[in-house]
Amino acid sequence: MAEPLCVLGSVNMDIVLRVPRLPQRGETLHCSEIAHIPGGKGANQAVGAARLGMKVHMIGAVGSDEHGTTLLRGLAANGVGTKAIARLEGNSGLAFINVDEQANNTIVLAGGANQKVTLPIVEQHGDLIEQSAALLVQLEIPLDSVVRGIELANQSRVPVFVNAAPAYRLSEGVLAGVDYLIVNETEAGVLLNGEMPTANNAVDAAVALCGLGVKHAIITLGEHGAVLAGANLRLRVPACRVRVVDSTAAGDAFVAAFLVGTIRMRRGLEEALQLGCAAGAAACTVFGAQPSLPTLDRVNSLQRMRSDASGTSSRRVQGKGGTTREGRTGAVRV
């Protein structure tokens, strides 16, 4: 079995505030609850993949503060290899997250040690990238380091998964080295010159992203599921319906599950997309980032519940003339 996965990315301590609603400009609100929860897109996706049964090691950095100690212990406890995570003088990365009563959130990042994941750190651990089954990166560390990681993976023909979050413009030269680009609507809009896709035209937007050079483009659409475009392939998968408690890390759960489905389980893209949607939905049912990342048993259980409710786990519909026709359940081939 091809393993391990290498994650090059951020490690944060999330400071989560429960608020009645998201504050408006200039407004002061009282929170009903505050929690310190390990997070960071890189760490979340590493933990998410490990909980789904994949061997994972991570390249990144934490600070010399107490948060750094807590973050490293948490990753190790979840089965993520931490030998390539540098312990640097100063603060660890922080994320300040407001979560309202409807489970909407806003996030403000303080990069801390994540901004010190420089080229020498990536070069030092280049062997981990080159010997991995896949490289997974996000954009919460310096872009030069992300690009170098992609270059090292390309040199060794290691598949590259890029979650282009937070939203940044990436050059076509960088995108040409990406096997799977995963973005939400906002991030897709940034890459497409501000033309943010909707659920109705998301397939066309994914095709446009492929036109920038990536081999496969996936756009997550929240309650509307996800779409995927690749060479001669167009897929749309609906979301699993759940009671949403907190949507933080739902995207990270999707990314981890899609990658594990593709690389470790060797499932087809349709099944991997379904797995990602189920994992993202499962993450919405638990408060906090890393605590919400589901195990494979939880994801499989949610998929069985959807299958039982619908009477079928998948229904393919062939669209005519490039149009999209969505079935009631499962993946739709368009």
Residues 6 or more apart from 328 whose CB is under 8 A from it?
310, 315
Collapsing DSSP states into helix, strand and coil, what is residue 245? Answer: coil
Per the CB < 8 A criterion, the answer to whether 138 and 60 are in contact is no
DSSP 105-165: EEEEEE-GGGGG--HHHHHHTHHHHHTSSEEEE-SSS-HHHHHHHHHHHHHTT--EEEE--
Catalytic-role residue among 144, 252, 297, 308: 252
In eight-state DSSP terms, residue 234 is E
Per the CB < 8 A criterion, the answer to whether 277 and 261 are in contact is no
Q: What does the chain come to in residues? A: 334
Per the CB < 8 A criterion, the answer to whether 177 and 161 are in contact is no
Collapsing DSSP states into helix, strand and coil, what is residue 9? Answer: coil
Per the CB < 8 A criterion, the answer to whether 203 and 236 are in contact is yes
Q: Which runs of consecutive H residues, i.e. helices, occur in 248-295?
A: 250-263, 269-283
Active site residue 252: yes
Per the CB < 8 A criterion, the answer to whether 75 and 10 are in contact is no
> CA gyration radius for the chain?
19
Collapsing DSSP states into helix, strand and coil, what is residue 316? Answer: coil
Collapsing DSSP states into helix, strand and coil, what is residue 189? Answer: helix
Rounded Cα–Cα distance for residues 326 and 320 (Å) = 12
Residues 6 or more apart from 309 whose CB is under 8 A from it?
none
Rounded Cα–Cα distance for residues 329 and 289 (Å) = 28
Just list the catalytic residues: 252
